[in-house]
Amino acid sequence: MAGFRVALSGDFRKADGSPTFPDFDLTPLKQAANVEMAFLDNASPLKGEQLEAFDALILLAQRFDAASVPKSGRLAVVARFGVGYDTVDVPACTAGDIALVITPDGVRRPVAVSIITFMLALTGKLMVKDRLARSGPPGFAARGEHMGVGLVGKTLGSLGVGNIGAEMFRLARPFDMQFIAHDPYADKQVAAKLGIELVSIEQLFARSDVLSVNCPLTTDTHHIVNAGRLALMKPTAYLINTARGPIVDQKALTTVLEERRIAGAGLDVFEQEPTDPGDPLLKLDNVIAAPHALCWTDQCFAGNGAADVKAVLDVMRGQVPRGVVNREVLERPAFKARLEGFAKRFG
């Protein structure tokens, strides 16, 4: 019986063949009966001919577009390592009867912890105080000029109340803050349970003392954080973005930060990645920056990897995996036939 073939994008391996992220445990795939595994080249976007003989793909950072869909009709699932899927052409996947899967459970807690990390560092003036401590007596003498901000009674806002946004509010409960959010698709029962007041987007920007961006990047959310909305924020407020860089108009953000029209920002994502070292945003002392990796921990990568491996093995057994983005593909006859075929061969 022909095996179930799983491809891994080439960026999971270093040039010397060693794993890029050792916490991604491939043992369940290696030990599964009838599974064959192979790493692809590092081409980006991936090319369809690379995937002609595979049933599943586990994808890290390489792009998957319409030209990545193999003509063989064999590929059944693309399991994205993480929750962002702006590097994947979703309509092309659906048209090719390919399920796109993400890993919400793997990133929910790590990203929410990253947001809380930024919030505490910004309001506590951590980076400023680090510099003061390193400058000796003059720094210690100036410490009273850099008072932090207490969180009790302050308003924590979220642009989006999905998987990560909800977890952020759960983690923030002990700080005794007020919770508000804007999300046209919010589950009102979840919001009520977490004590979140759902507000308009204008109210969100105007009322938040700490505002976190927790929505996916889509055509609708591109630059949703723009000059007009930033102008609504308090001069004492902080903006945090751990979602996707292009959700925020970075030039507009740089301007309000330069002019001290908001207090500061914590940014793990940028419009251009990698960043340009000469970017004026990175020269500001009221910005804390991370290279799209603040949530990168052993637990995060182990969780994402385990979720992707489980999704691939579920498909192999003819089961619908968790975290399917393009749910409509589940009703397409060709996809159903693939699952049925897998169930008969490997289930």
Rounded to 10 deg, the angle between the 104-123 and 163-172 helix axes is 50
> pLDDT tier at 319 (50, 70, 90 boundaries)?
very high
Residue in 108, 109, 182, 244 annotated catalytic: 244
145 is catalytic: no
Q: Which of 310, 333, 245, 277 is nearest to 35 (CA)?
A: 310
User: What's the pLDDT tens digit per position in 236-284?
Assistant: 999 999 999 999 999 999 999 999 999 999 999 999 999 999 999 999 9
Catalytic (active site) residue 273: yes
Tokens of 167: 């977890």
Checking if the pLDDT of 1 tops 80, the result is no
- The one catalytic residue among 5, 80, 182, 292: 292
Residue 40 exposure: Cα atoms within 13 Å on the Cβ side: 29
Sorted by where each begins, the domain ranges of the chain are 4-102+297-346, 107-289
292 is catalytic: yes
CA angle 63, 71, 311 (to 5 degrees): 55
**Could you check whether 4-102+297-346 and 107-289 share the same CATH topology?**
yes
Q: pLDDT tens digits for 201-238?
A: 999 999 999 999 999 999 999 999 999 999 999 999 99
Sign, CA dihedral 291-292-295-297, equals negative
The terminus-to-terminus CA distance of the chain in angstroms comes to 13
pTM (2 d.p.): 0.92
pLDDT at position 122: 98
Architecture of domain 107-289: 3-Layer(aba) Sandwich (3.40)
Tokens of 262: 């908001």
- Active-site residue, from 202, 273, 328, 340: 273
* Eight-class DSSP state of 198: E
Q: Where does 4-102+297-346 sit in CATH, by number? A: 3.40.50.720
pLDDT tens digits, residue range 94-136? 999 999 999 999 999 999 999 999 999 999 999 999 999 999 9
Residue 177 has pLDDT above 60, yes or no: yes
